[in-house]
Amino acid sequence: MGDPAVVVGVDIGTTSTKAVAYDAGGRQLAKHSIGYPLDEPHPGYAEQDPQLIYDAVVDSVRAVVEQLREPVAGLSFSSAMHSLIGLDADGAPLTPSLTWADSRASAQAERLRAVPSGLALHQRTGTPVHPMAPLPKLVWYAEQHPMLHERVAHWVGIKEYVLLRLAEALVVDHSIASATGLLDIHQLAWDDEALGIAGVTEEQLPQLVPTTHVLPGLTADAARATGLPADTPIVVGAGDGPLANLGLGVVHPGEVACSIGTSGAMRVMVERPGVDPLGGVFCYALTENRWMVGGAINNGGLVLQWAGDALAPDLGEHAEADLLALAADAPVGSGGLIMLPYLLSERAPHWSAVPRGAYVGLAHGHRREHLVRAALEGVCQQLALVLASVRAAGNEVHEVRASGGFARSPLWRQILADTLGMPVRFPVQREGSSFGAALLGMQALGLIESIELAADLVKIDETVRPDPAAAATYAALLPLFSELYEALVPTFASLRRLAPSLPPEPPPIAPLL
């Protein structure tokens, strides 16, 4: 625990890259982050320039190295999942980096989901057939840009591109690979059927390696750019979701990490891979005996932001605090008003780009405080559906730890505990995925015995217990909330045809040179 060796956890996110240095006792010694834009050239597109992200990685690492007095024992990486980049034979990008938020492949995903083999594909690969995933994106490229699709020598995610530049190694860890829709998670091998659907070969994909795989050092250019010795080890690392669980100290089966930021997620650690019979959850790898089962939702804190813009534009600069105060004036259950918060369609547990938001049960007596509270309750009810799917996959849940921007609000904390019907523990805030990456790196480099040490390093700040009466109200409303989705799917589909949120397919984009 007193080892002075330092590991820098590098978290490559969709809005910024954050590098944070930790010692083996979990103390944060230095950090730096650099942001970059998310380009949306057409509705439904969400892409980034790989070069900007690589620059952010080396510059943030260099800034941390310059703050440290101690030598760096290694770098370890976390990355947003589901990204996709096409490279030429020299490793240069032919496409932008498509992020998880890119929904251009919605039609391809819906088509794949509709066939009988769609659920089997999900159950083998652990990844829902959804436009977020690389598999439908690859089908989109094959159908919309076949010449470009044929030119691509290698298909990678953003972390693989960065590692290729840093260490000249074309590798992908089992965690990131398990979120592509292309990996058989039970065999830890590329899935032949998925590759056939995507129109790619194993030779076009990076070499599969464990998340603890260590690359021996940096290229000369990368060493100069980061300020590190060329022989600095690089731990390949994992996806940001599993590492966020690790960073919260959620390392044992039955423990759930819940987060609500702009979006949201519910994830439980398990010892063996598995998906529920209805395909409501994903299953992604962390290590050979630690897997993450859960679901992400598109609509978290952005629902509150929408409520402020649409319902209370008069509140001004203190909109969030005043909105939450408004919501507190409405009763539990919002006077019989339910909001389906699908403003950006939805992911778990239905995994469809079709749904839209809806208020159901509006009455003359409802005011904007009811509408705002119903929005908060809708987000938490959606997470409760994800938790039910986690349990349906055969997982016991006995503890929930939560994090994210929502935790600043005592009201929202209480609504979550009441909706889930169980106590919610709020850890002292850490840097999440970067801390998880550093812990995984320390294990890989032999600086700590096991990542289970995280459970002792993360301290709990507060435990919020459900109010029995409120919990009973939400438990009664949850089946209605779930049934509304099923009842409105035909309406959502008709609206999509009659008033589509996406315009006709834009002209083909030129590849990056």
Is 360 within 8 Å of 306 (Cβ atoms)? no
Q: Over range 308-336, report the average pLDDT.
A: 91
pLDDT at 431: 73
* pLDDT at residue 213 tops 80: yes
pLDDT at 278: 87
pLDDT at 457: 87
* pLDDT digit string, tens, across residues 245-279: 999 999 888 999 999 988 999 999 999 998 888 89
Cis peptide before 349 (omega within 30 of 0): yes
pLDDT at 315: 87
296-427+465-495 and 6-248+430-461 share a CATH fold: yes
* pLDDT at residue 511 tops 60: no
CATH of region 6-248+430-461, choose from 3.30.9.10, 3.20.20.80, 3.30.420.40, 3.40.50.2000: 3.30.420.40
pLDDT at 471: 98
Strands 399-403 and 424-427: parallel
pLDDT at 442: 96
* pLDDT at residue 510 tops 60: no
* pLDDT at residue 338 tops 80: yes
pLDDT at 428: 85
- 133-145 burial, b at 16+ Cβ within 10 Å, e below that, comes to bbbbbbbbbbebb
Spell out the domain ranges in the chain: 6-248+430-461, 296-427+465-495
pLDDT at 455: 83
**Whole-model pTM?**
0.91
* pLDDT digit string, tens, across residues 43-78: 899 999 999 999 999 999 999 999 999 999 999 999
CATH number attached to the domain at 296-427+465-495: 3.30.420.40
Share of the chain above pLDDT 90, in %: 84
Q: How many CB atoms lie within 10 A of CB 362?
A: 14
pLDDT at 173: 98
Mark residue 507 as left, alpha or beta (left: phi above 0; alpha: psi -120 to 50; beta: remaining): beta
* pLDDT digit string, tens, across residues 361-396: 999 999 999 999 999 999 999 999 999 999 999 999
Share of the chain above pLDDT 70, in %: 96
Distance, in Å, from the CA atom of 342 to the CA atom of 303, rounded to the nearest integer, reads 9
Distance, in Å, from the CA atom of 490 to the CA atom of 10, rounded to the nearest integer, reads 44
Is 400 within 8 Å of 254 (Cβ atoms)? no
* pLDDT at residue 503 tops 90: no
* pLDDT at residue 398 tops 90: yes
Is 334 within 8 Å of 370 (Cβ atoms)? yes
DSSP letter (8 states) at residue 93: B
The count of C-alpha atoms lying within 13 angstroms of the C-alpha of 150, restricted to the half-sphere facing its C-beta, is 5
Q: Bridge partners of 234?
A: 75, 215
Residue 365, token pair as written in the block:
């007596």
Residue 155, token pair as written in the block:
């298909």
- Collapsing DSSP to helix, strand or coil, 470 comes out as helix
Distance, in Å, from the CA atom of 263 to the CA atom of 259, rounded to the nearest integer, reads 8
- pLDDT-based confidence at 505, cuts 50/70/90? very low
Distance, in Å, from the CA atom of 347 to the CA atom of 338, rounded to the nearest integer, reads 19
- pLDDT-based confidence at 406, cuts 50/70/90? very high
Q: Which residue in 423, 328, 344 sits closest to 377, CA to CA?
A: 328
* pLDDT digit string, tens, across residues 449-497: 999 888 888 889 899 999 999 999 999 999 999 999 999 999 998 998 8
Residue 177, token pair as written in the block:
């690979």
Distance, in Å, from the CA atom of 93 to the CA atom of 133, rounded to the nearest integer, reads 19
Q: Bridge partners of 248?
A: none
Q: Bridge partners of 296?
A: 265
* pLDDT at residue 502 tops 60: no
